Amino acid sequence: MSTPPPGPLSGPPLAGGIAGPDALRPLLAVVLDALHEGAVARGGPFPAGGPDAVAARVREAAEPVLPDRGTGAEDALRGLVRTLAHGAADPADPLCVAHLHTSPLALAVAADLAASALNPSMDSWDQAPAASELEALVCRALAAEVYPHQAGPDALVTTGGTESNLLGLLLARERRGAVQVICGAAAHHSVHRAAWLLGLPEPVTVPTPSGVLDLAALDKALADLPGPLLVAATAGTTDTGRIDPLPEIADLCGRHGAELHIDAAYGGPLLFSAEHRGKLAGLERAQSVTLDLHKLGWQPIAAGLLAVPDRALIAPLAITADYLNADDDTEAGLPDLLDRSLRTTRRPDILKVAVTLRALGRTGLGALVDRTCAAAQQLADLVEEHPRLDLYERPVLSTVLFRPTGATDEQTAGIRRTLLADGRAVLGRARADGRLWLKATLLNPHATPGDLAALIQEVLIELVKGSTPR
């Protein structure tokens, strides 16, 4: 006699289906309250007390990690979300400016909740019918922003600049063979890592004495090195936000028969700005372009893309797995998604991007970019006007490097670590011209002149106190 099927499950509800929203609604209230409580407890841009204090609070909230009997949904949510918020670096605070780490738009976070609840897996059409079509539409539209004069541009969704750079080098290798990569000293570290992962020669590093690729040195390298060659240029360096001279680099690549990949993970969203998009002239001449919308696009992580001028260029990624894209299914018209990524299971990260693009439009996103870049110029003004601070250079994007006049590198590092330990401000660090600089990477379009002045004031307070390294 067969065992009858079990009756209705009494237990934690699922997020999907008709009943899913009702199950989520009370839990969301708990999460939102816990986020608020954690932010109030933190009381600033960063948790005070350093690593030991943060670790102690996390252990208190999270242990035992796997109890014999669970504490229940509300208790677990409230305790752990509150603790995570208390111990978070909060990029929504104007004094949290260390990295290319943005506070996402509320509407993008709301869209990401829907993506998590529906949980499409973007590796076969029968798991993600609508999401796969939405991804195709949005990817083509964004690729057309990079390549406006091409007939069939396309883009692939990635986890960010590292994956996009890896894909760019991989596709170049499949087209040209074992390419010799040439990049500037300020190129992102992922370019070197991608070459290593792909079994390519170690990239040749060209000097960047002015912060960007030196054209004469690049010309010589292209002339001296055996092919095939791939130049990896940068539109928005991590340390300074500088943009390589893209039109001239593209000219040199054409003259020497080299391909061009541009890492525009930081600077790419300037395309949305009528005021700033001219800084990206030459972008459309690359064989591949890295973009990140979880930087100057205000998306929750992750929201990366790799754009190419012709969708045929992604053909090397094609692979068949009978349970996901059997030949007869594809021939019958079911879309094949396995050539859209190196990953198999992946989230529908395109939903939050699509919602943001449709809600704000080009002018709305462009306005956010413009306001953020303007704030960087205002911060640079404040630094230049103060007799006890030195400015490295006028910002190109939204990164400002500065340091106390006459301070040693040790004193500069000490100021940064003291502000972190006290939870008062989160500044980055960068080395340029042989010296250590404080780095402010502005990504908050709501930062006011008063906020910028407060950031400067925190540094000056520590300068007067004579901070020593912690």
Q: Which residues of 127-161 are buried (b: 16+ CB within 10 A; e: fewer)?
A: bbeebbebbbebbeebbbbbbeeeeebbbbbbbbb
Whole-prediction pTM value? 0.95
Q: Write down the pLDDT at residue 470.
A: 44
Q: Write down the pLDDT at residue 161.
A: 97
| Secondary structure class of 392 (helix, strand, coil) | coil
Over residues 282-297, the pLDDT tens digits come to 999 999 999 999 999 9
Q: Write down the pLDDT at residue 469.
A: 43
Structure-token pair, residue 101: 């780490």
For residue 336, pLDDT beyond 90: yes
Q: Which residues of 268-295 are buried (b: 16+ CB within 10 A; e: fewer)?
A: bbbbbbeebbebbebbbbbbbbbbbbbb
Over residues 70-126, the pLDDT tens digits come to 999 999 999 999 999 999 999 999 999 999 999 999 999 999 999 999 999 999 999
Q: Write down the pLDDT at residue 240.
A: 96
Q: How far is CA 406 from CA 153, 372, 402, 403, 411, in A?
A: 51, 29, 12, 9, 10
Over residues 150-176, the pLDDT tens digits come to 999 999 999 999 999 999 999 999 999
**Average predicted confidence (pLDDT) for the chain:** 96
Over residues 408-465, the pLDDT tens digits come to 999 999 999 999 999 999 999 999 999 999 999 999 999 999 999 999 999 999 988 8
Q: Write down the pLDDT at residue 11.
A: 84
